[in-house]
Structure 1
Amino acid sequence: MTTVDSGVLTRCVEAATLAPSLHNSQPWRFRITGRAVEVYADPSRRLDALDASGRELLLSVGAALFTLRLALRAQGWTPEHVLFPEPGTPNLVARVEPAREATPSETVTALAAAIPRRHTNRWPFAAAVVPADAIEELTRAAGDEGATLTIAGAVSRDAILGLGQAAERRLRADGGYRAELGRWTRPARGRHDGVPPTAVGPWDALERLPLRDFGLMHAQPWRTSERFEAHPTIAVLATHGDGPPQWVLAGQALQHVLLVATRLGLATTPISQPVEIPEIRELLTKTATGRWAQMIIRIGYGPPAATTPRRPLTETLRDESR
C-alpha cells in the first residue's frame, strides 16, 4: 500500500477548516492516525439557543468533511469515508482514508481552488439573473452528495422570504438568542472564530431579506443601510429523511454547492433562520415525500466579501502519525 505523507493529510485538514459554520463557530476537531483522518464534532462549540438538536453543528462538520474529501482528491488521492464508524463514540462523525492514488481532474482542481475563496456574502447582489446552466450545475452538485437543491419560483420565493422574516422576528425576541449572538459577534482582539464586523454587511433598507441582525448585539454606527436585490434567487437544500446521517450529508451537499457557486463567480448567503424554528421549518418540508429542508441559500452576483478568521491547527488537529 502506498504511503501517504502526513504533510499531505495536514494540508488537507487545514483546507477543511475553511468550511462554513453557523456564526463561524468551527465546531470540529480532527485526528490523524496512520493513513486515516478522523473528523469529530465538538459539542462545546454548539450554539445552545439556535441549535439545541445539534443539527446545524453536524451540517457544519459535514461541510468540513466534504472539503477534506475534495482536498485529498486535489492532492492526488481517491478518498473513502465512513460515517459514524464507532457507535459508542457519537462525536466521531467520519473516518476518511486515502484509498488509492489518482490524478485529479480539471474539475476537481478548479473546485479545490475555490476553497479559500468561498465566503458568506451579506452584501446586496446585482439584479442580474443567474443563468440556467449555472443553476443546473448547482443542482447537480447537491445531487452528487445525495441531496436536492430546488430553486424557488416567484410565489415560493416570496413565501420563503416571509417565513424567514417571521423566524428572524421570533429569534430577536428570545433573550437567549440575543446573548448567544452577542458572544459570537462581539469584536475581540486576536479572536480566531465568530463573525467580525467586517463580515456583517449593511442593513437591508426594505427589510425583505431575512439576514441575521448582528446589529442588535452592539453599536455599529458605520453600518450603512442599502437596498438589496428585489428578486433574489433563493434555493432550498433538502434531504430524504432527517437525522444525524442526513445532517452530515446536507453539510457536504451545502459545501459542494457553495464551492461550485464560487468557481462560477457567484456569491452565496446561507440563510438558516427559517430552518432554526421547528414549526417554520416544517412549512418548508415536504412530509409526503420525506424531503426535509436543511438550509436556504441566496445566490447571485455580489461584491467581494470579507474573510472570517480561522482557528489555528494547534487547536483543531491532533496528529498521532509521527
Structure 2
Amino acid sequence: MTSLDERALAHCVRTASLAPSLHNSQPWRFRLVDGAVEVYADRRRQLEVLDPDGRELLISVGAAVFTLRLAIRVEGHVTEVSIFPDAGSPDLVARIRPAYARPSSAYATALAEAITARHTNRSPFADAVVPADSLAQLRAAATAEGATLTLADAVRRDVIINLAQAAEARLRAEGGYRAELGYWTRPHPHRRDGIPPTAVGPWDALEHLPMRDFGLVHHQPSRNAERFEAHPTITVLATNGDGPVDWVRAGQALQRVLLTATRLRLATTPISQPIEIPAIRDLLTDTGNGRSAQMVIRLGYAPSGPPTPRRPLTDILDTRTP
C-alpha cells in the first residue's frame, strides 16, 4: 500500500478549501498528522448573529470534509472517515485517512472536475424546467450522504419563498445583522474571504426571490435591477436528526448535491435565511418523518457565477506535529 505524502495531502487540502461556506467565511482549519488529515472548526469565523449555535459553521466544515474525501479519492485512495473522533476536542470535526490505494472511478473524477467550476450564482436563472432525470441524480447525491433532497411543488415553493421573505425582514430588524453582513462584504484589495462585489448579483426587480441582500450595507451604484425567473426550482435538503453530527452530514450532502448540479450544468444558490430563524425553520421541518430542514437550494440554468477568493494554504493548514 502506497500512502499519500505530505505534498499530495496538502494539495487535497487546497482543493477542500474551495468548498462553499456561509458568507464565504471559510471556517475551517486542517492539520496533517501521521498520514491523516484532521479537519477543525474555526470558531473565530462563526457568524454570531446568523449562526449562534454553529449549525451553519458545521455545515460549511462538512462541505469541506466531503471535498477533501473526494480530492483524496481522485488521488487514487479510498478514505477512512471518523466524525468527531475525540470527545475531548469538540472542534476536531473529522479525521480523514487514505486507507488503501484504488484507482479513481469515472464518477468520482467527473465530480472532482466540478469543484473548481462550482460557484454560488445570485443572478436570474432562465425560465426553463430542470429535467426529472437531473433532479433524480441530485436526490441520489443527497441520499448517498445520508440526507434527503425534496423538490417543492408549486404551493410549497410559494410558501418557502414567502417564509424566506419573512426571514429576511426579521434578520434585517435584528441587532448586529447589518454590522455582521457589512464585515463579510467589506471590499479590500488583499482580502481572501467574504463576498466580493462581483459575487453579489443584481437586485430582484420584483423583490420576489429570497436572495440575500448583500447590497444592504454598502451602496453599489452599478448594481442593476433585473427580473428573476417567475417559477424558480426550489429544493429542501434535510437530515434525520438535528445535532452536530447531522449538521456535518448535511454539509457533505450539500456539497455532493452542488457538485452534481455543476456537473449537470445547473446553476445553484443555497438559500439559508428561512433556516436561520428557528420559528420559520420549524415550518420547513417534517416532524412526522423526523427530518430537519438544513438548507434551501435554488436550481436552474444560467451563465457560470463568479468565483470568490480563498485564504492561502498557510492560513488554514498546520503541518506541525501536535
What is the rounded CA distance, in whole Å, between the counterparts of 1:171 and 1:204 in structure 2?
18
What is the rounded CA distance, in whole Å, between the counterparts of 1:124 and 1:3 in structure 2?
45
Counterpart secondary structure, 1:223: coil
Match of 2:60 in 1: 60
Match of 1:32 in 2: 32
What is the rounded CA distance, in whole Å, between the counterparts of 1:163 and 1:317 in structure 2?
39
Match of 1:195 in 2: 195
* Aligned-residue offset at 1:289: 1.5
Deviation digits for residues 158-208 of structure 1 (CA, Å, limit 9, x no counterpart): 000000000001111123111100000011120000000000000001111
Given that 1:34 and 1:320 are in contact with CA atoms closer than 8 Å, whether structure 2 keeps it comes out as no
> Alignment RMSD, CA only?
0.8
Match of 2:233 in 1: 233
- The equivalences for 1:213-232 within 5 A come to 213-232=213-232
Match of 1:41 in 2: 41
Amino acid corresponding to residue 66 of structure 1 in structure 2: F
Deviation digits for residues 114-159 of structure 1 (CA, Å, limit 9, x no counterpart): 0011000000000111011000000000000000000000000000
Runs of 4+ residues over 3 Å off in structure 1? none
Deviation digits for residues 279-302 of structure 1 (CA, Å, limit 9, x no counterpart): 000000011211000000000001
1:137 paired to 2:141? no
What is the rounded CA distance, in whole Å, between the counterparts of 2:2 and 2:303 in structure 1?
44
Match of 1:119 in 2: 119
1:83 paired to 2:56? no
- The equivalences for 1:1-322 within 5 A come to 1-320=1-320
Given that 1:172 and 1:178 are in contact with CA atoms closer than 8 Å, whether structure 2 keeps it comes out as yes
What is the rounded CA distance, in whole Å, between the counterparts of 2:218 and 2:29 in structure 1?
30
Given that 1:78 and 1:99 are in contact with CA atoms closer than 8 Å, whether structure 2 keeps it comes out as yes
Counterpart secondary structure, 2:176: helix
Counterpart secondary structure, 1:128: coil
What is the rounded CA distance, in whole Å, between the counterparts of 2:4 and 2:122 in structure 1?
39
What TM-score comes out, normalization by structure 1 length? 0.99
What is the rounded CA distance, in whole Å, between the counterparts of 2:112 and 2:264 in structure 1?
13
Given that 1:122 and 1:202 are in contact with CA atoms closer than 8 Å, whether structure 2 keeps it comes out as yes
* Aligned-residue offset at 1:19: 0.2
Given that 2:3 and 2:98 are in contact with CA atoms closer than 8 Å, whether structure 1 keeps it comes out as no
* Aligned-residue offset at 1:6: 1.4
What is the rounded CA distance, in whole Å, between the counterparts of 1:225 and 1:99 in structure 2?
51
